[in-house]
Structure 1
Amino acid sequence: MSKIPSKFVFICGSALTGQPDHQNLQSATLIREAKTAPLYRLHSVKDGWHPGIYETAENGISIPGEVYELTLEQYEYLVSTEPPDMYPEEITLENGEVATAMLYPKALIEENNYPDISHIGGWAAYKKQQQQTEQKQSKE
């Protein structure tokens, strides 16, 4: 009996558990929470529509996320649902393992001056902070 081919994918944005695009993972298997090696930066793209991460040679951070095992069909579907300009690339996790993640071109981040949110603690923390700010402003 042969094993169905699969891919290990690092999720660090809107498809995380509890985030609005989590259903794009379909019934993929959550392997564990994880962090990238401190080689990346995290930005808020298009007014918080989605994250943009890229590898950097300096001032990198560890980005928190989740590792999933996806069938090739689930992986192809996930990639088809990603925003424009995002592309799959192998990334290095904190423990040295390699997984695929969706990256965003650094040149587009710089060209559009998308805010660097690396210091906030990940996409879910950023979205929670945004929500709290909006709630506070609506009460004022």
Structure 2
Amino acid sequence: MPDQIKLAVNGTLMRGLALNSNLVDADARFVREAKTAPDYRLWSIDDQYPAMIRVRQGGAAIALEVWQIPPEGLVQVLRQEPPGLCIGKVRLDDGEEVFGVLGEPALCEDRREITSYGGWREYMSEGGAAG
């Protein structure tokens, strides 16, 4: 669909998690599971949701989901995101570049880095967060 935007999500917007209904209510459709290129780091924001940032060094591939969403739906979802999360371009491990949810660097200061888990679901499965 030409009027759809691909959006990569790496936290509570993913299927089965707390804010997934924000995507569904915005007429988004799940496309596939994916991973980022190994250029990202991930932080837990008070064990409520993650924040991901692209870095020059020390990054890893982070698990995420790719969705298709209409432009007006993207605006709707972004308005519901917590402060400090924003939309930027995310490079996937297959070289594709899509829009994605990222964290502002200031949001991650003094937070627990969880990059080594490889993703939010993996962090939650280890007992790190409630979902």
TM-score exceeds 0.5: yes
Equivalent in the alignment of 1:44: 44
Matched, 1:12 2:10: yes
Asked if 1:120 is matched to 2:121, the reply is no
User: In 2, Cα distance between the equivalents of 1:10 and 1:38?
Assistant: 15
Read off the aligned partner of 1:129 and give its amino acid letter.
E
TM-score, normalization: structure 2?
0.90
**Cα offset for 1:108?**
3.3
TM-superposed deviation, 1:53:
0.7
Q: What's 2:127 paired with? A: 130
More helix by share: 1
Cα distance in structure 2, aligned partners of 1:37 and 1:54: 12
Match of 1:137 in 2: none
Instruction: Supply the distance in 2 between the matched residues of 1:74 and 1:67 (Cα, whole angstroms).
Output: 15
Whole-Å separation in 1 of the counterparts to 2:6 and 2:30: 10
Q: Is the 8 A contact 1:36 1:94 kept in 2?
A: yes
SS of corresponding position for 1:130: coil
Whether the aligned pair in 1 keeps the contact of 2:22 and 2:77 (CA below 8 Å) is: yes
- Map of 2:96 onto structure 1: 97
Q: Is the contact made by 2:60 and 2:118 (CA closer than 8 Å) also made in structure 1?
A: no
Identity between Structure 1 and Structure 2 (%)? 30
Measured in 2, the distance between the counterparts of 1:126 and 1:7 equals: 28
Q: How many residues align?
A: 128
Q: Structure 1 unaligned runs (5+)? A: 135-140
Separation (CA, whole Å) in 2 of partners of 1:57 and 1:63: 15
Larger Rg: 1
